[in-house]
Amino acid sequence: MRRLISAAALLLALATAAEAATGPKPSAQHWSFSGIFGTFDRAALQRGFQVYKENCAACHAALMLSYRDLRGIGYQEDDVKAIAAEAKVMDGPNDAGEMFERPGRPSDKFARPFANDKAARAANNGAFPVDLSMVAKARVAGPDYVYALLTGYGPAPAGMTVVDGMAYNAYFPGNQIAMPAPLNPDGVAYQDGTKMTVEQQAKDVVTFLTWASEPTLEARKQMGVKVLLFLIVFTGILYAAKRKVWAAVH
């Protein structure tokens, strides 16, 4: 009996440790892009890009994205040129053999916040800010996990000591994360009048990051629907042909 109790206690301890290492399962959120007929909300995409640009881009790169890709979330050509021009891009060498900075162009990749990985770590107390281009696809539960992470900050529970320079997050593995809470109420000024809660900002930026990781999602779904419709019609034709060919056979 004692052995059974000891084994049960060990299993409970291991389960508790595993949950602390992986974090609780994030709650499922409603996303406009979910399901076979789901599409991206363009207004949410543009708000999400604003959140990324104002709150995330100072530390996190999105190296897979070019400024011209922003046409896919509803921006016009002039808007894309203006957004790109805000960035400073290292180019060259010039005729004197020197590198120089110039305003960004739509064809440029999103500007890197740091010159290299060591500079990124040095500016963040040794922690490396992950690239956000594919973060929504690289995590289990994808958008739900990223949303839970962004909204999972809070005071540490009683008895838990948070290391200096770290913040408590209910959904981050180990519950201690080097990134301070990136979102604050009224942290960005939405131009369309949407209420600027932390939850709204998190949902918008997750929508943008999901699009960034799979910008062809809508086209893929549309093609899938067309293929399914074709297969249904083709199956009907095959069945009618079979009935016709074998009609005289008893």
Strand pairing class (88-91; 100-103): antiparallel
How many CA atoms does the CB half-sphere of 217 hold within 13 Å? 23
This prediction has a pTM of 0.83
Listed in sequence order, the residues at least 6 apart from 240 whose beta carbon sits closer than 8 Å to its beta carbon are none
Tokens of 42: 């363009």
Task: Taking each helix axis as running N to C, give the angle between helix 142-151 and helix 198-213, from 0 to 180 degrees, rounded to the nearest 10.
Answer: 150
Q: What is the CATH code of the structural domain delimited by 16-65+109-215?
A: 1.10.760.10
d(CA 33, CA 37): 8
Per residue of the chain (250 residues), what is the pLDDT tens digit?
A: 444 444 444 444 444 444 445 568 889 999 999 988 999 999 999 999 999 999 999 999 999 999 999 999 999 999 999 999 999 988 888 888 888 889 999 999 999 999 899 999 998 888 899 999 999 998 888 999 999 999 999 999 998 999 988 999 999 999 999 999 999 998 889 988 899 999 999 999 999 999 999 999 889 999 999 999 999 999 999 999 988 888 877 6
SS3 100: strand
Listed in sequence order, the residues at least 6 apart from 72 whose beta carbon sits closer than 8 Å to its beta carbon are 211, 215
**What's the Cα-to-Cα distance from 155 to each of 20, 57, 121, 166, 167, rounded to whole Å?**
16, 26, 26, 12, 8
Peptide bond into 157 cis (omega under 30): no
- In 95-190, which ranges are continuous DSSP H helix? 117-122, 135-138, 142-151
